Structure 1
């Protein structure tokens, strides 16, 4: 990734495409594991070859290392449609994995893989990233869910982005599924995000509510040669002008597609609340507590403390999630996401997320490999342990 010549024209920010407001798209990065010791297995090429023969919505593509695969839905209009598409893709993945004697698993990290054993997938962008970031590229063998939500205009996209930023801790805690790294309990519910934060272009987007001003920022950064496209920003939420969306990137990959679809319904219901009620105007000062709130959610999950940006009030994050679910419930009902919101509200109320399930399963079994095996069964849609 060399810096371009001084006389080279910097790349232009893509025009913001039209999309239907509140439309959804979901991406899931998944683990490929063998079925004898449940360590990661470099079978992405074989999986892609088998999956390419099956007509499915969305897409299936490689990821940074060869023990990962990314699935994505097409454009959806409800969390039920997200679940329907993910179900089709999941069922095809399971059939293909069975042919290869491997399994697909959710979760934000593999509990005991060693990053130095991983292979960078042979694709130009991944090779370039490996050259730039060195060992961090292999440490990027982590697994997240990304949710795209359609916005009516580019200015609306930035307004939506900065409103959503208040709820980053909620997204992290509800999706947290990465307590184990390289065989150890990290004491974080979402250790995955610690790897993301190591990248220089991670964090939050600059505060502006004007697409023209955002374009000026993009032009300044591309003139340095450090950034060539929006893909080079690893922000928690970033605009995706080519899709007409914003993309929320802090979710760990859940252990089940049902939770993944419910999280998409939560995002859509929040977006509807923002668009229809305009509940607050985001401010730069909101970000004074942003990093603290994000750390709390990563470290403690649903047991975190949340600082309300507008008032400075400290309260349990679980309580704020329940309060938020109650606020957006009328919009969730209209969008067909009421059951999804109710599921997440109950999870918050009981303090139960996938990180807790993983820890409880390990405490019961005392073997990380058996925990991964049971997580693979959960991804298939089968019951976990008896």
Structure 2
């Protein structure tokens, strides 16, 4: 990695659901929204495996301010396109209302192969995440950095939990999207690996075993990007606002930079058992930022806010260098006051419109264009 942390570029993909503004239900009308948004976003907009979802992408950015600008632009273009089709978009990890089980799948040979391979697992694919890509110099380095990031994944789930509802009911979980991903044969935290050759050997074995359709169905929450020199962190529910997505991406990039420097020192990173990681995932998905999480270094329950403070201390050196510390600290303070997305969705449900009020709140928050300078 470059000696100057400001040379490390990063980018974001955000997934959204398309909803009817009258019924507030998700609807399989992503295609016309994408067609309209292409005029402004070009290749930065696309679809997903279901007809319920749209995706906006940023270009690689050097600064969080530039990233935030592109996130706002992507959301605005999609919202405008949706409105032109008498629709809306919402940033939530799971649908609140509508026909979500099974979701309508887009057509094509790859999708058909996926349905034949994964069968009923496709019934739970109407979910939305945010993916953060951070550039690294080579694939070997990316694998070693992944080993360092792996213990942080449960905390990142708690920070971004924004999917409490499914099929018109409260699941009792803060991140139901995380729970649904846990059903897949190759998902969740990646295993600890020695180098890129070890990574490739394991992926080849999984392909031969029929647990993957292709490398695109490798759903580990950290993976090597197949077509760019980046490490992709895929663990989070899509946040309600562009501000939160930008702050989350800034934190992830800082953690990557700190981990990369630890690799330079010969630090292999902590060895955390798969069983403890699984338990920590479950607890983070259940309680989000509002509860306690499992400290994977000790196995003890600790308030999620305490785990977040520890994560901030780890990332602090790189955040200071990148001028992102105030932004990330402000985001964490907001979480302490306003709570995570799941808690905010539940608060919206207490209004006179019930579940419909959640969708209205999500529509408003998804399009909110708060200047990044408000973090300062």
Alpha carbons 1:176, 1:354 under 8 Å: kept: yes
Question: Of 334, 340, 343, which residue of structure 1 is paired with 2:330?
Answer: 343
Question: Of 46, 60, 64, which residue of structure 2 is paired with 1:75?
Answer: 60
Indicate whether 1:50 and 2:36 are aligned.
yes
- Summarize the Cα distance change of 1:170–1:204 in structure 2 as closer, same or farther, 3 Å threshold: closer
Of 102-111 and 85-94, the range deviating more from structure 2: 85-94
Residue in 2 that maps onto 1:92: 77
For residues 181-196 of structure 1, what are the structure 2 equivalents within 5 Å? 181-196=166-181
For residues 1-386 of structure 1, what are the structure 2 equivalents within 5 Å? 22-56=8-42, 59-116=44-101, 118-227=103-212, 229-277=214-262, 281-350=268-337, 352-381=339-368
CA distance in 2, matches of 1:201, 1:335: 34
Q: Secondary structure at the match of 1:364?
A: coil
The CA deviation at 1:276 is 3.1
Structure 1: gaps spanning 5 or more residues: 1-19
The CA deviation at 1:105 is 0.5
CA distance in 2, matches of 1:375, 1:103: 10
CA distance in 1, matches of 2:237, 2:205: 32
| Alignment: residue pair count | 363
CA distance in 1, matches of 2:90, 2:74: 13
Of 271-280 and 316-325, the range deviating more from structure 2: 271-280
CA distance in 1, matches of 2:330, 2:115: 40
- Summarize the Cα distance change of 1:221–1:136 in structure 2 as closer, same or farther, 3 Å threshold: closer
Alpha carbons 2:151, 2:272 under 8 Å: kept: no
Alpha carbons 1:318, 1:351 under 8 Å: kept: no
CA distance in 1, matches of 2:254, 2:270: 22
Residue in 2 that maps onto 1:8: none
Over the aligned positions, Cα root-mean-square deviation in angstroms equals 2.3
- Summarize the Cα distance change of 1:135–1:206 in structure 2 as closer, same or farther, 3 Å threshold: same
* TM-score normalised by length of structure 1: 0.87
Structure 2: gaps spanning 5 or more residues: 1-5, 371-376
- Summarize the Cα distance change of 1:191–1:228 in structure 2 as closer, same or farther, 3 Å threshold: closer
The CA deviation at 1:116 is 3.5
Which whole-Å deviations, capped at 9, do the CAs of 1:51-78 have from their partners, x for residues lacking one? 222255x521111211211111111222
CA distance in 2, matches of 1:213, 1:380: 43
- Summarize the Cα distance change of 1:297–1:136 in structure 2 as closer, same or farther, 3 Å threshold: same
Which whole-Å deviations, capped at 9, do the CAs of 1:55-109 have from their partners, x for residues lacking one? 55x5211112112111111112222222111111222112211111111110101
- Summarize the Cα distance change of 1:254–1:55 in structure 2 as closer, same or farther, 3 Å threshold: closer
CA distance in 1, matches of 2:192, 2:256: 19
- Summarize the Cα distance change of 1:51–1:366 in structure 2 as closer, same or farther, 3 Å threshold: closer
CA distance in 2, matches of 1:368, 1:313: 35
Alpha carbons 1:44, 1:69 under 8 Å: kept: yes
Alpha carbons 1:80, 1:336 under 8 Å: kept: no
Residue in 2 that maps onto 1:7: none
Alpha carbons 1:28, 1:146 under 8 Å: kept: yes
